[in-house]
Structure 1
Amino acid sequence: MTKTRVLISGASVAGPALAYFLHRDGYDVTVVERAPELRDSGYAVDFRGEAFAVLEEMGILAEVREHDTKMRGAVLVDERGVETGRLPAEVFAGELEVPKRELTRILHRITADGVTYLFDDSISALTQHESGVTVEFERSAVREFDLVFGADGVYSTVRRLAFGPHAGKLRHLGLSGAGFSTANYLGLDRSGLLQSTMGAAIYLFALDAAERLTVSLSFATGSPELDRCDRDEQEKAVRAAFAGHGWEAPRLLQAMSEADDFYFSSTCQVHLDRWSCGRIALVGDAGYCAAPTSGMGTSQALIGAWTLARDLASAGGDHTTAFAAYEAELRPYVAENQAKGQQTATMFGGGANAE
């Protein structure tokens, strides 16, 4: 019997998780990833609620727990660095927190033997027909698949090709920010520091005393336009937002220019009327990002992949029935998480705007 051929775009969390379950259920799975190799970047990720059941079913919960950061919470400080309060670890770290690179490595390891990975490549065109989807790649030869899944983030290529331009699908929550690392000159050890005013926030943390200091500089913005700018323009915007700020701001702005792991992103949610289009469906941030301010991105990605695979199995491979069940089951959960993301963004001076 010929296996159902599926293509998943994105090798972060939702993609490999979906690949694991579909391969287990007998599908012929290929994952395409734009990065030239497994990504080794990103903040720590946390897990909440039913995500633990997903990790358990994948047989990796115990291994993931071995990488627990054991963060002890964050100290709130004013612009002079004087302590004004404390936040418990659960606010940032959920019920369990691990470095994202470790989760990505584990997910890749448990799928690599049975799943085909195409790194340093991306989808350039999707053409649906009665029996499948013709997929054109930037580098690889044209191939036919029965189903295609977009697990490729907020600016999903699959979503753009199958559902149309990003405009109107992204809801900017009024915050953007830069992230990078620098020397742990403050000697933080499994702890964080947060200095926040309306419209700007500095969050610093280190997973242990030997780790580099991870820096997040976020500020109020009217749109996610800076995401599409070059680094010079992004740094310029960060400097303008933090001009005149005290505490560690001047030193951190200097360190930003010297960082070799600088990245910039805006806090956005993805809102769609539907998460599937024929034989193509979206999972994780590509379809329903709740924004980092929700604290639910990783859990939602895992649960979304698990639910989608389970509904495909229940429907006997009938993708139309499965996609409808997946969406009906998951939408209330996503709506709750997106409300949390909006609420937290508002606390930091953001405000929702549709792009």
Structure 2
Amino acid sequence: MPTAVAKKVLLSGASIAGPTVAFWLAKHGFAVTVVERAPALRLGGQNIDINGPARKVIRKMGLEGAILAQNTTEVGLQIIGQDGQVAGEFPKDASLTGTRELEILRGDLVKILYDCSRQDVDYRFGDSITALEQHPDEVVVTFASGKTETFHLVIAADGVRSKTRQLMFGEEPQFKSLGLYIAYMTIPRQSTDNDWWRWYTAVDRRVLMLRPDNKGTIRASVAFLEDDRETHEKRPIDEQKSVLKTKLAGAGWEADRIRQAIDAADDLYLDKAGQIKAPRWSAGRLAMVGDAAYCPTPISGKGTTLAIVGAYVLAGELSRHERHEDAFAAYEKRMRPYVDEVQKLPPGTPKLVYPETKFGVSVLNTVAGIVASKPVQKVVSLFSSNEAEEEQEGIELPDYE
């Protein structure tokens, strides 16, 4: 437990992992500061879901109702064939589906987490960490604003491209690329849109997705396989838009619609998909959590879950141990097997679901149609269900309260 004089903890990043750690540390009696590079909360982003042990953490935080109230309205997943027809359909209550009950926009979840923690946490926007100097009893932190301050612990929670991680570990944590780029943006909703998550596979290893939101717009994403030597993520935004337009050319279905909306999109985000394979998550008084420590890639569908569970465990272990070294060791011992399991992607991922030829796309859609058929769904339902999967642990969550 923290000492009589509350231990000062600095968190870098006000997205999902950061505010979740902040909530629990404040609840355990720590003095918590969160620094965020952006001038305000970054409320953009796509549909995400909260499942498995993360849902139990959310219940402990008293936030399940608030998240359900911000549901994206998505009713399930439709696989769209080459002629625009529905090749397979997986409703939200089906045994196999990509849509969960706790489906929410990333920005809405960020706002909920911020609102539940801000009364007990010092949030500082428009600033960032530029230097860290460890001492036996403290860490001296220098900020971009020029200020210098001391903390007992510093935790990086600023995402897969974490700058704080680089200050802590240099280039030690490894980014394992999957050879895949994913672009996200918000586009206007049309009368032909529905409340399904629509997945369309095009030739030349491209995938287009349209998903509903609760804002009256559509969240579009475009994914494509690319040579690892490419660095589109480092290009200026205008060049990224140009690359994306080129990739959409001749893709079919709603590609022209997305292409035409790119210039007006003010929230376009393009990045290389990959995993963070960090050999260690702490060094002295420094540690990291969430995507900064163990990003599993959007393909896994578990990034938010890992961030929330990891945040809960890290804060809980710090509350249990007087020595931070023991707390960090216990955090990694508990989380590492779970992270390793989540980061295991099916063999051939992602290439198998990004076929190059029209024949390959046809085979993929045919398989999806068979899996989505009522006979197959009925058989699968005998062995699994959404409810059972939601309750499946994958990790033991102690009661730290």
If the length of structure 1 is used for normalisation, what is the TM-score? 0.92
Larger Rg: 2
What one-letter code is carried by the residue in structure 2 that aligns with 1:79? Q
Counterpart of 1:29 (choices 28, 32, 35) is 32
In 2 relative to 1, CA 268–42 (structure 1 residues): closer, same or farther, beyond 3 Å?
same
| C-alpha distance in structure 1 between counterparts of 2:346 and 2:236, whole Å | 27
Which of 164, 183, 186 is the matching residue for 2:170? Answer: 164
1:155-234 aligned at under 5 Å gives the runs: 155-165=161-171, 169-197=174-202, 199-207=205-213, 211-223=216-228, 225-234=231-240
Distance 1:280 1:289 in 2: 18
Residue by residue, what CA displacement relative to the aligned partner does 1:207-233 show, whole Å, maximum 9, x if unpaired? 35x711211011002236211111122
Aligned AA for 1:245? A
Q: Using the alignment, how far apart are the partners of 2:259 and 2:334 within structure 1? A: 45
User: Contact 1:293–1:341 at 8 Å: present in 2 too?
Assistant: no
Q: Deviations over 1:282-341 (max 9, x none)?
A: 10000000001110111110100001111112213x110111111111111111111138
CA distance in 2, matches of 1:245, 1:38: 35
Instruction: Give 1:160 shift.
Output: 0.5
Q: Deviations over 1:84-104 (max 9, x none)?
A: 222343643334211222211
- Whole-angstrom distance in 1 between the partners of 2:166 and 2:284: 15
- CA distance in 2 between partners of 1:244 and 1:229 (Å): 23
Pairs within 5 Å for 1:38-117 = 38-89=41-92, 91-117=97-123
Which sits farther off after the overlay, 54-63 or 5-14? 54-63
Which residue of the partner structure matches residue 276 of structure 1? Answer: 282
Instruction: Report the CA distance shift for 1:342/1:46 in structure 2 as closer, same or farther (over 3 A).
Output: farther
Asked if 1:327 is matched to 2:332, the reply is yes
- Take 1:70 and 1:181, find their aligned partners in 2: how far apart are those partners? 16
Q: Given residue 255 of structure 1, which amino acid in structure 2 is its aligned partner?
A: A
Give the whole-Å Cα distance in 1 for the aligned partners of 2:351 and 2:169.
Answer: 29
Distance in 2 (alpha carbons) for counterparts of 1:109 and 1:221: 39
CA contact 1:269–1:290 (8 Å) conserved in 2: yes
Superposed CA deviations along residues 98-121 of structure 1, whole A, max 9, x for unmatched, are 122221111111111111011011
The alpha-carbon deviation at position 186 of structure 1 amounts to 4.8
Give the Å deviation of 1:140.
5.0
Whole-Å Cα distance in 1 between the matches of residues 295 and 9 of structure 2?
Answer: 23
8 Å CA contact 1:174–1:349 kept in 2: the answer is: no
Contact (CA 8 Å) 1:291, 1:341: kept in 2 or not?
no
- Cα distance in 2 for residues equivalent to 1:204 and 1:104: 22
Decide whether aligned partners of structure 1 residues 42 and 249 sit closer, same or farther in structure 2, where only a CA change above 3 A counts.
same
Cα distance change of structure 1 residues 23 and 150 upon mapping to structure 2, 3 Å threshold? same
- Once the two structures are overlaid, the 10-residue window that deviates more, 222-231 or 293-302, is 222-231
- Contact in 1 for aligned 2:73/2:212 (Cα 8 Å): no
Distance 1:277 1:186 in 2: 54
CA distance in 1: counterparts of 2:154 and 2:31, whole angstroms: 12
- Answer yes or no: is 1:244 the counterpart of 2:245: no
Partner Cα separation in structure 2 for residue 45 and residue 14 of structure 1: 14
| Equivalent-residue separation in structure 1 for 2:32 and 2:160 (angstroms) | 22
Structure 2, unaligned runs of 5 or more: 356-401
What CA deviation, in whole Å up to 9, does each residue of 1:11-61 have, x standing for no partner? 011000000110111111000001111112011220111111111111212
Alignment correspondent of 1:338: 343
Q: Hey, what does 1:353 align to over in structure 2?
A: none
State the shift of 1:7 in Å. 0.2
Letter of the structure 2 residue corresponding to residue 294 of structure 1: S
Task: Indicate how the Cα distance of structure 1 residues 257 and 66 shifts in structure 2: closer, same or farther if over 3 A, else same.
Answer: same
Please, which of 120, 123, 129 is the counterpart of residue 129 of structure 2?
123
Q: Measure the CA separation in 1 of the matches of 2:347 and 2:151.
A: 37
Q: How many residues align?
A: 347
Give the secondary-structure state (helix, strand or coil) at the position aligned to 2:84. coil
Structure 2 residue aligned with 1:18: 21
What SS does structure 2 have at the residue aligned with 1:189? coil
Counterpart secondary structure, 2:161: coil
Moved more, 216-225 or 119-128: 216-225
Separation (CA, whole Å) in 2 of partners of 1:297 and 1:7: 22
Say which is worse superposed, 35-44 or 6-15, in terms of deviation: 35-44
Structure 1 residue ranges without an equivalent (≥5): 351-355
Whole-Å separation in 1 of the counterparts to 2:353 and 2:241: 20
Q: Is the 8 A contact 2:201 2:354 kept in 1?
A: no
Task: State whether residues 200 and 348 of structure 1, in contact with CA within 8 Å, keep that contact through their aligned partners in structure 2.
Answer: no
TM-score by length of 2: 0.82
- CA distance, structure 1, for counterparts of residue 231 and residue 294 of structure 2: 20
Greater CA drift, 251-260 or 301-310: 251-260
The residue number in structure 1 matching 2:144 is 138
Identity between Structure 1 and Structure 2 (%) = 36
* Superposition deviation, residue 348 in structure 1: 3.1
Aligned counterparts of 2:218 and 2:233: Cα–Cα separation in 1: 23
